[in-house]
Amino acid sequence: MKNSFVQTLRALVRLKPSQKLQRDYLISLAIAVALAFVVGAGILLICGHNPLACYASLFKGALGTKRAFANTLAKTMTLALCGLAMNVAAKAGMFNVGGEGQLYFGAMAAAVVGAYVKGLPAWMVTALALLAALAAGGLFALLPGWLKVQWKVDEVITTIMLNTAAIYFCTYLANGPLKTSEKGIAQGTASIMKEAGLSKLVPLSNLTTGIFYAAVTVLIIWYLMSRSTTGFEMKLTGNNDRFALYGGVSTKKLMLWSMVLSGMICGLVGMLETFGLHGRFIVSVSNEFYFDGMLVAMIMRYNPVGTVLMSFFFAILNIGGRAMERSAGIPSELILIVQSVIIFFMAAEGGIRTTLKNRAAVRKTRREAARKEAV
């Protein structure tokens, strides 16, 4: 019954928006970005800066050199994974706000394995650290997921609370029981096995072999959400869990596992940061990466491909903004204002699209009225 029900729904429910909706969305998003840059240019002019020179510095700082492009790709990787973690949970109707805490737990688990597991080959230590990070992130997301499906406890509240608990607990471990005794290092856990760390692909950049882990994860999540029956059932559950349950879909199981998978992806991000950049767990392992990824995911309506593309754009703003501050002499506060304006207009894409549709409808009505009067 379940299979036939799902097959029937496949014919009735579109997993992808129509080409017209995709076109309208892309047009309104492009208009939003253009308006954002125009308003940002106005702000720069008012503050006495040349907008063209500033924007040139921004894009050159993000894409102009091999090192800059590598840093942009590294930032894209982090944002895309965090955005996909949000996507997975949201598709099944779960709103995982606790990705930051899950990232911290994954980073700490990987750091402990990397520092204290001895006598094994480097590749095995890396593999064990990866498994530990996935398990830590997934298990930490399991609790709010279970509370939601079993007791209807709001996952937004529980994940926000657990975020704070996870960050403070990991900070306590890093500054207390697991604090390094290595000379010249003020804070953090002991260093991981050097040979087990992820190699830099471009010298003096943040791009490591972790990007291959990220690429595999992106492909898996894309297939899961866009091509598999499980992905369809997740979407059905997120849209109407009662209807999905009537059709034989195990909605509670899907919602729970979507949270676990979301946490596992966050744990992976923590492992990549620890083994790729820092070589140990540090208290500032994440600069609110997950919240940026959430924003990207929501702007792109939880579309996995769109999330990756928008992550690249956000990475350009982030990496290029730092370069713009250095080369154009613009205060960091002003750069943040310009970036916020750009994000605001992108988030307002829906309103822009509605305005365009309303104006098109008014023009159509006027043409029809004029045609009738002419007759």
Per residue in 185-204, pLDDT (tens digit) is: 768 999 999 999 999 999 99
Model confidence pLDDT, tens digit, residues 47-83:
888 999 888 998 999 999 999 999 999 999 999 999 9
Is residue 96 over pLDDT 60? yes
**Using CA atoms, how far apart are residues 374 and 304, in angstroms rounded to an integer?**
50
Is residue 109 over pLDDT 80? yes
Highest mean pLDDT among 45-49, 181-185, 232-236, 263-267: 263-267
Q: Is 200 helix (H, G, I), strand (E, B) or coil?
A: strand
Q: Is 320 helix (H, G, I), strand (E, B) or coil?
A: helix
**Stated length of the chain:** 375
Q: How many CB atoms lie within 10 A of CB 12?
A: 6
Nearest by Cα to 315 from 101, 71, 149: 71
Q: Is 346 helix (H, G, I), strand (E, B) or coil?
A: helix
Distances (CA, A) of 272 to 8, 115, 172, 280: 42, 15, 21, 11
**Using CA atoms, how far apart are residues 353 and 347, in angstroms rounded to an integer?**
11
Higher pLDDT, 164 or 327: 164
Confidence of residue 256 (pLDDT cuts 50, 70, 90): very high
The burial of 333, by beta-carbon neighbours within 10 Å (0-12 exposed, 13-18 middle, 19 or more buried), is given as exposed
Model confidence pLDDT, tens digit, residues 275-284:
999 999 999 9
> For residue 99, which amino acid is it?
G
